[in-house]
A and B are shown apart, each in its own frame.
Chain A
């Protein structure tokens, strides 16, 4: 029985120590964290400011299926806004209007580049598949360019003219067109690579052609193969620019499938910049293919060009063609 009594005494002693020392310990803790009500449960808590400084973005876990909603805060949305509403309209405006201005000045100074001689003979320059590919891609590009710049120029230029409702209806259809016409554009790019990459690899004529300014500023006709260096630059601009536009565009067609919020914003930057640069390049291409040079349009129009024009502009190509095939034919009934 003595052991039981001893245990009772021991338990009472422990209890007494606990009662006396407990509040003292708690007060010490509270004193350290300068709190009136007890221990500080936020001592280890995450701080918004610290998270934003460290990571630039606050991310956590959500219990809903939408994984991307786990991003609680992404202040870089401000940079996206600054690009979309500040930089982009200026970059696009300067590039597009600047190119139009350059072309207008060039036209006034140089005028239309005339064909010096007509041979009366025609040579096939682009076959049906090549012309189909060109015009499919060209039509798609024009639709995409107009519906594309509508995303940031529309509300500034068109909306004040036609009103908010009509502009919203137009923009809705423009968005659908932009999403769907993207596919024939991408198909056109693939076909162009297959059809024309062989003739667009830099060759020995290119350096001399560029040094001579392509004959744009005098009446010289530096020799060139099927495509001269200027045309090769257009080709590679379209292929590389088109690749950037297509890759970033696919990311936007399937939002958040391939990238998170930061990736989606970068895709937009790449898409918009590559697109406005390409629009400027294509404006130059359209000018020289139609108004700027006599005899150039037929190449993509009927597919056949005057032999004399071909000899002037693509001398090395004509040589090769004459040897290899009977693609040269008289354009009208022969005299005899």
Chain B
């Protein structure tokens, strides 16, 4: 089985936000929730870089560790998923997540949160693959259809790569070798305790 990862080549990202839009559309993500976002660092200054970020599907995921109801699980493809039937919306996973991936619909009183929603690597949830009930809760299950996440498929500059970690790392290394520079695989050290040097 593959070890699925995301890799954002910050030297290619043009902050077009097509990945964000594709994700929202593909999964019917409700208003106020962003499974993926583009963050621009040093905006307007020399050396500005944009990074598209979502759940990185960490090795030994911190969200899963702090969850008080143990609603997280890791698939055979190393995708970190969760069960909305078990989630109580406590918000702990957001405090533990290094990438700000978990999102909560605001429901009811005070700031109380609904059940957590996050990037599924387009792999759905615990319900049977490609069913209506799975779609309503977790969105499309493209992995079950043999497709990769739509955000990366849509990326116009091929900045965002999604797929088996070794394959996308090889692609990135070739790029860095070819063009002679690369600012590294953002988030890899934090998420997977390894990084790619070109």
Inter-chain contact B184/A77, CB cutoff 8 Å? no
B-chain residues with CB within 8 Å of residue A154 when the two chains form the complex? 68-69
Inter-chain contact A150/B68, CB cutoff 8 Å? yes
**Of residues 117 to 152 in B, which have CB atoms within 8 Å of A's CB atoms?**
none
Chain B min CB distance to A181 (Å):
13
B105 within 8 A of A: no
A-chain residues with CB within 8 Å of residue B68 when the two chains form the complex? 150-152, 154-155, 171
B-chain residues with CB within 8 Å of residue A72 when the two chains form the complex? 39, 41, 51, 53, 99-100, 186
A331 within 8 A of B: no
Q: Is the interface of B mostly helix, strand, loop or mixed?
A: loop
Chain A min CB distance to B50 (Å):
8
Q: Tell me the bound Cα distance from A152 to B96 in angstroms.
A: 14
Residue of A37, A73, A152, A264 most packed against chain B (CB within 10 A): A73
Inter-chain contact B40/A68, CB cutoff 8 Å? no
Q: Tell me the bound Cα distance from A309 to B32 in angstroms.
A: 62
Residue of B11, B41, B97, B182 most packed against chain A (CB within 10 A): B41
Chain A min CB distance to B127 (Å):
15
Inter-chain contact A42/B109, CB cutoff 8 Å? no
Q: Please name the residue on chain B nearest to A34 by beta carbon.
A: B180
Q: Is the interface of A mostly helix, strand, loop or mixed?
A: helix
Q: Please name the residue on chain A nearest to B70 by beta carbon.
A: A155
Inter-chain contact A165/B85, CB cutoff 8 Å? yes
Inter-chain contact B38/A63, CB cutoff 8 Å? yes
**Of residues 74 to 94 in B, which have CB atoms within 8 Å of A's CB atoms?**
85-92
Q: Contacts A40-B180, A68-B100, A74-B100 known; A45 to B187 CB distance under 8 Å? A: no
Inter-chain contact B100/A42, CB cutoff 8 Å? no
Inter-chain contact A255/B91, CB cutoff 8 Å? yes
Partner of B181, one of A41, A63, A64, A253: A41
Chain A min CB distance to B27 (Å):
16
**Of residues 1 to 58 in A, which have CB atoms within 8 Å of B's CB atoms?**
33-37, 40-42, 44-49, 51, 58
Q: Tell me the bound Cα distance from A51 to B43 in angstroms.
A: 14
Give the 8 A-B CB pairs with smallest separation, nearest first.
Answer: A35-B180, A44-B47, A60-B41, A60-B39, A168-B86, A42-B181, A72-B39, A44-B46
Please, could you name 11 A-B residue pairs with CB atoms under 8 Å apart, sorted by A? A40-B180, A47-B184, A48-B186, A58-B39, A78-B62, A80-B66, A84-B96, A155-B70, A164-B86, A175-B89, A176-B112
